[in-house]
Amino acid sequence: MAFILRNVQTDFAGFQQLIDLYDHLKHCDEERIEIDMSDVTWFEANMCAPFGAVLSARQKAGSLRLFGVQQKVMSILRKNGFLPNFGFDRVKKPDTYGTTIEYQRFERSDVQDFKDYVARHFVGKGIPRMTAALHGKFRESISEVFQNAVHHSNSKRGIFACGQLFPGGTNRRLDFSVADLGDGMRKVILDNTGQDLSPEDAIDWAMKGANTTRRRESGTPGGLGLKLISEFLMLNGGRLKIASDAGYWTCYRDQVLRKKVCHKRFSSPFPGTVVNIEINAADKQSYCLESEIDAEDIF
């Protein structure tokens, strides 16, 4: 019996669908599993990262079949290079408008390849104006998200990344997701600190700047590498979304410009961790590091 997939957005319902799919794959004994995408009219391309991670749980070659993919969805998922990994035409559709950050799977040893990938794709794409120093730190922080998965997840399937610029006037945004199919934050914290936290509290704990489960070696800070990104997104009006174990966590700026954190509980665990960075690409402000501000410019 085919698993029926519906519209996939970067939200609680979107992640819950992928969890349901993972549970289906895990418990299905059929030689060939089919995923019916006939009802999918909207698939946010950055969600190819966790989608690909979940599908990788079915290791046997040729054991998965995606069918019923509507033309609009097929165009997006061919453009970012996702569908050719699942038996579709390997000719990649040209990205005429430069809106995609291609889907890619990395081995845990591919740290430099990921840094090159970020350098290649995080040019333009609606990222607000930044000084060269901040832009360098911003790219470093994104690379630290990958390194966090390398050091913590113990993922045997690799690490998956994908992004998409959604051009939409005042709702213009850039979403970028990094996903692994390994140990979630709750298990990592329990194993390394002995704290038995709820899935949501584990994400809260990991997001606090002073907390880390990684040794500080050669002056390299441990932790998630998300502090600078989170601070930038609060100024920019973007959002940070994390799914790990059964916890869903999102942080954003509310209408009165206050930082707001919300979390929910999935019906069963996501088999790893997904970090989604959502940048407000309609932002016309310019940004710099605090250390770059000349005190005389304030007055």
The answer to whether 44 and 14 have CB atoms below 8 angstroms apart is: yes
Q: What is the pLDDT of residues 50-70, one digit of tens each?
A: 999 999 987 665 688 899 999
Reduce the DSSP state of residue 296 to 3 states and report it.
helix
Average pLDDT over residues 181-192: 92
Average pLDDT over residues 248-272: 92
Residue 105 exposed, middle or buried by CB count within 10 Å (0-12, 13-18, 19+): middle
Q: Of all residues in the chain, what percent carry a pLDDT higher than 70? A: 90
The answer to whether 272 and 53 have CB atoms below 8 angstroms apart is: yes
> Which domains, ranges and CATH numbers included, belong to the chain?
3-283 (3.30.565.10)
Q: What is the pLDDT of residues 205-246, one digit of tens each?
A: 988 864 655 544 444 444 456 888 999 999 999 999 999 999
Are β-strands 64-67 and 100-106 bridged in parallel, bridged antiparallel, or unpaired?
Answer: unpaired
Work out the number of other CB atoms within 10 angstroms of the CB of residue 217: 8
Phi, psi for 177 (deg, rounded to 5): -120, 140
